[in-house]
């Protein structure tokens, strides 16, 4: 229930702030005036040093990340990952169009393009977004700025660059804006290129290299009461390594468009949005660090509309009515390889004409009951339909070759080795599986109801209590329901967990339903020198989508190379945790400047009800301590992060235990009007550590199988320099 918002600095905000922001956002866009500290739309210069992934921004707000590619990892909120976290980019819902979630929503926007970002974990309001049980991450780049002149002329621009030694990373960001008093035109672009990074032992962590570029063009028009915004986007990723997947990304090309309309009336505000996003995605192999030959292709499209109407009931109360429509379509096929008996002669059709359609309506009541008590309550109803057409295997006239020996995948170009595989039995026969799948029911509609209650009570001027209850739902995605292949090769192409296992879909999956209770107590000093926040939460999930083992396979016949084939299934699960956050001004003088301390501790647990088995990828106890100094134009930060041993692991997925580790980072920033320079040393002591949420390194396994499925290692020491110039 704790809500945090960040633009350039970190602020811990109550749900009250969230709703003040959402209610008044049309006015903020209309007159371009910042609303206290709730939404600051990037008017200040020299704030574009954040380049590349948005991970560094969101981590400050309590978001963990499951390792994926270098462009964007997968966010984790309160121990829940994947589609359980709703990620909105400029209010638009973009679906990960890949069986491995290689193109998640956050990959479509770079950090320099972001002007504001919000995280609502746990008990999120129904208006924040549906079809999730973990919470909502909202990242925004649309922030029109206008001038005082009636003529369209140059307004502002910037160029930023960054270099990191650990991966030879080069990042560039540029922006340019034209504006008048009624029109604004803004371009923002980014380019990132990095080699595979080194760990704390100086060894290359194979297959972590990438290259990407993002572009956006935003036009806005306004008058005294309304505003229209149109944004066009384009992304091109020619390659991206995924160390913990069997495949890599060999292309991701997308185009998108967003239209937003906002209008203020005497006692109400209207907001509408239309979104379109199209992507062509390819997987394969491109580097000597992980070789092979097997093409996989995806074409997908998101179309959505949103309409919100807030009506003031009196000076202290309002009701928000909303209607939303989302349509996601996808085709996923694996082209047959000429001359291959195993992967041909036909294309393997994984998802044919897949559809996921959501129709939602919600009502939300908000009231400042008195000077101390604020209330928000809402109900959301959604109808979610999923459907796919008939599919086919590589060869419908004969049984699929047995692919249990994954060692033969090390080089898919070696056709003789592939064709020497033995025929499979019925448990791994894709020909039988495709017949059963096509004969079964491939159309399902779920009706779900979300509800929330948020209470904020100001005990005194320095004590605040927040309380929240929520019922939230998430329907299965298309891969969870309709991944029909049963052979080892086919199943290991499915899954975004980075665990080396294989996954089979389940058309009978039910909707996940989470009941969450959360409480937060905030205490501030009378002189505002310190602020302490404590949050506890508990989530009971009915029909949590986990996976049970169907059979095992062992590619290399070693004791440490066994994996499981798992099928998605519904179980009941419990997650709970606690967070403590402290900010304090610890010293101030003319000679040494202002010193501030920021510390936090987070602990999360999760388990299945039926077996008490720990859930997958739950981060262990972690703490962070930052000491910052502000003196003149200089800002220096020393940070220490400690992560406990990960001993509670998911045995079904052969999840590795990881050791505890400490990381020390040091950074210094200096600003001269239009120029900002930053120097940083991350992982100062070059400590070797394994990522608790990193999954296993399949790239390292394929180079040397003797070490088995080792946990993916984190980055070693890196010297980073960056500069930003505003004009």
**Residue 49's pLDDT is what?**
80
Q: What is the DSSP string of 34-101?
A: -BTTTB--S-SSS-----S-THHHHHTTT-EEE---SS--EEEETTEEGGGEEEEETTEE----STT-
Q: Give the pLDDT confidence score for residue 398 in this predicted structure.
A: 52
Angle CA(486)–CA(488)–CA(494) in degrees, nearest 5?
A: 75
**How much is the average pLDDT of 309-333?**
97
At residue 681, does pLDDT exceed 60?
A: yes
Which of 274-278, 340-344, 503-507, 564-568 bottoms out in mean pLDDT, i.e. has the lowest? 340-344
DSSP secondary structure letter of residue 690: B
The predicted structure's pLDDT at residue 427:
61
How many CB atoms are located within 10 Å of the residue 82 CB? 20
Mean pLDDT of 578-588: 96
**pLDDT, tens digit (0-9, with 9 covering 90-100), for 452-492:** 999 999 999 999 999 999 999 999 999 999 999 999 999 99
Q: What backbone torsions phi and psi does residue 471 show, to the nearest 5 degrees? A: -115, 125
Helix, strand, coil percentages (3-state) for the chain, rounded to 5, are: 10, 55, 35
Contact between residue 217 and residue 231 where contact means Cβ atoms under 8 Å apart? yes
Distances (CA, A) of 670 to 10, 111, 595, 676, 718: 19, 20, 16, 6, 20
Contacts of 48 (CB under 8 A, 6+ apart): 112, 158, 160, 173, 175, 724, 726
> Phi/psi of residue 684, each to 5°?
-50, -40
pLDDT of residue 22: 38
Any idea which of 27-36, 40-49, 106-115, 130-139 has the lowest mean pLDDT? Answer: 27-36
pLDDT band for position 344 (cuts 50, 70, 90) = confident
Q: What is the mean pLDDT of the chain?
A: 89
Model confidence at 181: pLDDT above 90:
yes
| pLDDT tens digits, 365-382 | 999 999 999 999 999 999
Fold exhibited by the domain 3-143+179-726: Maltoporin; Chain A (2.40.170)
pLDDT at residue 433, rounded to an integer = 94
Measured at the alpha carbon of residue 257, what is the angle toward residues 255 and 262, in degrees to the nearest 5?
165
State how far the Cα of 214 lies from the Cα of 64, in Å rounded to an integer.
24
Quick one: average pLDDT of 287-312?
95
Q: What percent of the chain has pLDDT over 90?
A: 84
Query: DSSP character for 706?
Result: G
User: What average pLDDT does this structure show over 434-449?
Assistant: 96
Residue 498: the pLDDT is 96
pLDDT on residue 685: 98
409-418 pLDDT, tens digit each: 444 433 333 2
**Angstrom distance (rounded) from CA 588 to CA 595:** 6
The answer to whether residue 45 scores a pLDDT higher than 90 is no
Tally of CB atoms within 10 A around 652:
18
The residue among 429 and 1 whose pLDDT is bigger is 429
What pLDDT, on a 0 to 100 scale, did the predictor assign at position 337?
86
In the prediction, which pLDDT does 21 show?
35
- Residues 115-127: what's their mean pLDDT? 91
Question: Is the whole model's pTM more than 0.85, yes or no?
Answer: yes
Q: Measure the CA–CA gap between 139 and 141, rounded to whole angstroms.
A: 7
Look at residue 7 and tell me whether its pLDDT is greater than 90. no
3 state DSSP class of 676: strand
CA distance 264 to 284: 50
% of the chain beyond a pLDDT of 70: 89
Q: Are strands 443-460 and 373-387 parallel, antiparallel or unpaired?
A: antiparallel
Q: Which comes out higher in pLDDT, residue 693 or 343?
A: 693
Q: What is the pLDDT of residue 607?
A: 97
Q: What is the mean pLDDT of residues 436-440?
A: 95
Q: What was the pLDDT predicted at 33?
A: 32
Give pLDDT tens digits for 603-660.
999 999 999 999 999 999 999 999 999 999 999 999 999 999 999 999 999 999 999 9
Cα separation, 432 vs 655, in Å, equals 31
Task: Indicate the DSSP class of residue 198.
Answer: B
Q: Is 215's pLDDT higher than 60?
A: yes
Assess contact for 655 and 617: CB atoms under 8 A. yes
From first CA to last CA, the distance across the chain in angstroms is 40
**Residue 489 in 3-state DSSP?**
helix
- How far apart CA 444 and CA 440 sit, in angstroms, is 11
Task: Report which of 535, 619, 620 is spatially closest to residue 578, judged by C-alpha positions.
Answer: 535
Asked whether the beta carbons of 229 and 90 are under 8 A apart, the reply is: no
Mean pLDDT along residues 218-246: 97
pLDDT band at 30 (very low <50, low <70, confident <90, very high): very low
With a cut of 80, say whether residue 529 has pLDDT above it: yes
pLDDT at 397 over 80: no
pLDDT of residue 48: 78
């Amino acid at each position: 229930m704790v809500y945090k918002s960040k633009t350039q600095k970190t602020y811990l905000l109550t749900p009250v702030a969230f709703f003040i922001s959402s209610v008044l956002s049309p006015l903020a866009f209309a007159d371009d005036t910042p609303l206290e500290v709730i939404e600051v739309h990037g008017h200040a210069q020299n704030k574009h040093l954040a380049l590349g992934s948005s991970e560094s921004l969101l981590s400050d707000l309590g978001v963990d990340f499951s390792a994926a590619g270098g462009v964007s990892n997968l966010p984790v909120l309160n121990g829940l990952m994947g589609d359980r976290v709703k990620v909105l980019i400029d209010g638009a819902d973009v679906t990960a169009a890949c069986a491995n979630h290689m193109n998640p929503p956050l990959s479509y926007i770079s950090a320099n393009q972001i002007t504001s970002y919000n995280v609502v974990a746990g008990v999120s309001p129904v208006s924040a977004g549906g079809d999730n049980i973990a919470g909502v991450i909202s990242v925004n780049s649309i922030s029109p700025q206008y001038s005082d002149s009636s003529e369209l002329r140059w307004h502002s621009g910037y160029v930023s660059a960054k270099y990191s030694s650990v991966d030879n990373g080069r990042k560039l960001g540029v922006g340019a804006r034209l504006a008048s008093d009624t029109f604004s035109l803004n371009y923002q672009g980014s380019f990132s290129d990095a080699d595979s990074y080194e760990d704390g032992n100086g060894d290359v962590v194979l297959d972590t290299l990438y290259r990407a570029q993002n572009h956006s063009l935003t036009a806005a028009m306004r008058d005294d009461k309304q505003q229209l915004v149109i944004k066009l986007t384009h992304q091109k990723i020619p390659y991206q390594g995924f160390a913990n997947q069997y495949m890599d990304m060999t292309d991701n090309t997308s185009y998108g468009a967003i239209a937003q309309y906002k209008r203020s009336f005497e006692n109400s505000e209207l907001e509408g949005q239309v979104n379109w996003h199209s992507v062509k995605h390819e997987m394969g192999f491109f580097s000597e660090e992980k070789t092979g030959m097997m093409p996989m292709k995806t074409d997908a499209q998101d179309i959505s509309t949103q309409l919100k109407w807030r009506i003031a009931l009196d000076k202290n109360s309002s009701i928000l009515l909303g209607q939303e429509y989302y349509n996601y379509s996808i085709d996923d096929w694996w082209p047959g390889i000429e001359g291959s008996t195993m992967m041909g002669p036909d294309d393997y059709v994984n998802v044919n004409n897949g559809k996921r359609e959501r129709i939602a309506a919600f009502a939300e009541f908000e009231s400042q009951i008195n000077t101390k008590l604020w209330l928000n309550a809402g109900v959301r109803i959604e109808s979610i339909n999923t459907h796919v057409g008939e599919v086919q295997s590589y060869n419908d006239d004969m049984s699929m070759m047995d692919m249990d020996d994954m060692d033969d995948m090390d080089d898919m170009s070696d056709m003789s080795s592939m064709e020497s595989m033995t025929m499979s039995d019925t448990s791994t026969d894709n020909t039988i599986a495709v017949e059963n799948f096509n004969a079964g029911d491939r159309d399902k509609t779920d009706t779900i109801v979300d509800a929330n209650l948020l209470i904020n009570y100001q005990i005194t001027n320095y004590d605040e209590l927040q309380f929240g209850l929520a019922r939230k739902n998430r329907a299965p995605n298309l891969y969870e329901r309709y991944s029909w292949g049963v052979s080892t090769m086919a199943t290991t192409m499915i899954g975004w967990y980075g665990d080396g296992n294989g996954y089979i879909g389940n058309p009978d999956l039910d909707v996940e339903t989470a009941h969450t209770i959360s409480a937060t107590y905030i205490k501030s000093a009378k002189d505002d020198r310190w602020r302490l926040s404590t949050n506890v939460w508990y989530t009971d999930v009915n029909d949590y989508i986990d996976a049970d083992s169907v059979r095992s396979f062992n590619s290399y016949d070693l004791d440490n190379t066994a994996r499981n084939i798992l099928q998605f299934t519904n179980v009941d699960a419990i997650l709970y945790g606690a967070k403590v956050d402290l900010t304090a001004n610890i010293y101030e003088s003319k000679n040494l400047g202002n010193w501030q301390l920021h510390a936090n501790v987070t602990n999360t647990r999760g388990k299945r009800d039926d077996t008490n088995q720990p859930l997958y990828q739950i981060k262990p106890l972690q703490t962070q301590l930052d000491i910052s100094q502000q003196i003149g134009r200089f800002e220096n930060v020393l940070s220490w992060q400690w992560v406990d041993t990960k001993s509670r692991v998911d045995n079904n997925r052969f999840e590795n235990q990881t050791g505890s580790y400490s990381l020390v980072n040091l950074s210094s920033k200096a600003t001269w009007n239009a120029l900002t320079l930053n120097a940083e040393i991350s992982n100062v002591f070059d400590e070797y550590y394994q990522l608790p949420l990193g999954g296993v390194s399949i790239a390292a396994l394929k180079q040397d199988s003797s070490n088995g499925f080792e946990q993916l290692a984190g980055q070693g020491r890196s010297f980073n320099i960056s500069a930003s110039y505003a004009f």
